[in-house]
Amino acid sequence: MTADDDPLGWDTSAAAGAYRDRDMRLAERLIFPAVLERLSGSSGPGRLALDIGCGTGAVAARLAATGGWTVQGVDPSADMLDIARADRAHPRVSYRLFDGRSLDWLADGTVDAAVCCLVYCTDPDDHRLAGLTAEIRRVLRPGAPYVLADLNPAATGVVFSTLRHGEPGAVYRDGDAVATLLRLRDGSAMTGVTYHRSLDRYRALLTEAGFPSPTVELPTLPADGAAEETAAETRIAPYMILTTHA
């Protein structure tokens, strides 16, 4: 792992190794419970959920263990998948390498739910994400939920307890590269690059793929402790959660 060194691309063993060690406390409170909750009405024995860009498997494992889902976690990074298979194996989770766009092994309307957490922000290619979003729409059964969680584009430059994306005071436009710092569990940090998209751009990626315009949640933490009273995440949402249905 590099500590505050050169930014890492996401499809490298160094990035995957660092990402394995990230401080997940904010995601555990602000993303994962909301994702499980948004999918809960569709879960049930034998129901299939896709975790698109599953990385090291944090969401896939929770969907299986807590939500009762059968899960396919898919990712274009072999290194991320190696970690997922080693750290987050579960009898109802399979991990699969794919090209970041095509879900061609899945027939139309055969998937009961899809989630995609912190993925669009790591991919600079709008064309690929448009194709991927259309594929997600194709494989979902009619009415099935799609939950897309990502960095809140209105929170660039804010210093959260476990991350910062963007420089304070800087203005970012769609497609801009954004220096992004993630805290690791040992207190050090990794730096990487994410790609800015406005909320309108996210909405357009969904609606152009045939999804209805999503509901948008911007969760913050309650200011219920001395340390948290001053934390930025009690005032500003680090992440956004978009929910739509096929």
Does position 238 interact with ligand SAM (CB under 6 A)? The reply is no
Does position 55 interact with ligand SAM (CB under 6 A)? The reply is yes
Does position 21 interact with ligand SAM (CB under 6 A)? The reply is no
| 118 DSSP 8-state letter | S
Does position 64 interact with ligand SAM (CB under 6 A)? The reply is no
| Cβ-based nearer residue to ligand SAM, 48 or 58 | 58
Does position 76 interact with ligand SAM (CB under 6 A)? The reply is yes
Q: How far apart are CA 67 and CA 43, in angstroms?
A: 7
Does position 54 interact with ligand SAM (CB under 6 A)? The reply is yes
Does position 17 interact with ligand SAM (CB under 6 A)? The reply is no
Q: Is 52 exposed, middle or buried (0-12, 13-18, 19+ CB in 10 A)?
A: buried
Residue 57 · residue 46 · CB < 8 Å: no
Residues 6 or more apart in contact with residue 112 via CB below 8 angstroms: 42, 43, 47, 48, 49, 69, 140, 141, 144
Does position 23 interact with ligand SAM (CB under 6 A)? The reply is no
Candidates 118, 151, 205, 209; binder of ligand SAM (CB under 6 A) is: 118
CB of 225 to ligand SAM, least distance (A): 25
Residue 90 · residue 65 · CB < 8 Å: yes
Q: How far apart are CA 30 and CA 151, in angstroms?
A: 11
Residue with tokens 């995957």: 16
Which residue is at the shortest CB distance from ligand SAM?
Answer: 55
CB of 223 to ligand SAM, least distance (A): 25
Alpha-helix residue ranges (DSSP H) falling in 5-75: 13-20, 25-30, 32-39, 58-65
Does position 145 interact with ligand SAM (CB under 6 A)? The reply is no
Stretch that binds ligand SAM, among 62-70, 119-127, 159-167, 236-244 (CB under 6 A): 119-127
Candidates 25, 29, 128, 141; binder of ligand SAM (CB under 6 A) is: 128
Residues that bind ligand SAM (CB under 6 A): 10-11, 52-55, 58-59, 75-77, 80, 100, 117-119, 122-123, 128, 132
